A and B are shown apart, each in its own frame.
Chain A
Amino acid sequence: DAGITQSPRHKVTETGTPVTLRCHQTENHRYMYWYRQDPGHGLRLIHYSYGVKDTDKGEVSDGYSVSRSKTEDFLLTLESATSSQTSVYFCATIGTPGRGNTIYFGEGSWLTVV
């Protein structure tokens, strides 16, 4: 257990509204990730971070932005939510690369855009 908490865990929002999901970790892990999971698509990388204020895009970054102002927090923002962004969102971290490269996942955030 890497002490990763996501908030909110469940949210229903309306199309066009901004939404921010928060990932908080207590392990001082350098690398953090946001994935979305949809049936038939597995886990798709949205954005990731390799340090404070250091972020990069993943394969499905359009419509999403991220920020990492502190090691422990990684925020995912949907600037203007669309129905296609209805999904389960997972935050993840890597502890020590090279030592098994274990990725630790949060419990997930279920987002519904209506």
Chain B
Amino acid sequence: GAVVSQHPSWVICKSGTSVKIECRSLDFQATTMFWYRQFPKQSLMLMATSNEGSKATYEQGVEKDKFLINHASLTLSTLTVTSAHPEDSSFYICSALSGVGNYEQYFGPGTRLTVT
């Protein structure tokens, strides 16, 4: 089956620093990737959608200057949390679609970010 990896699986950073999270599709080309955020005991909230080679589309209420998304290739998307603060601590999950008209999203294992 299609596999999506994320790195790192967990990260602790100090307030004010930036953190980059990578999302890779290992055995397929991902035309579209998604970034979700999940708070404890809550559902997944879509943050943004990105297509390879174009700017990401952010959901309402998500700060695009704070959560920088780059989808540089068909197998790699990155999420950079800039000037992180404790309220950014969360579980970030990426997901990928393998082609136009394919409605099945494959999810990465998630990245636990803790900002101290």
Q: Do A and B come from one complex?
A: no
A residues sitting closer than 8 Å to B (CB atoms) are: none
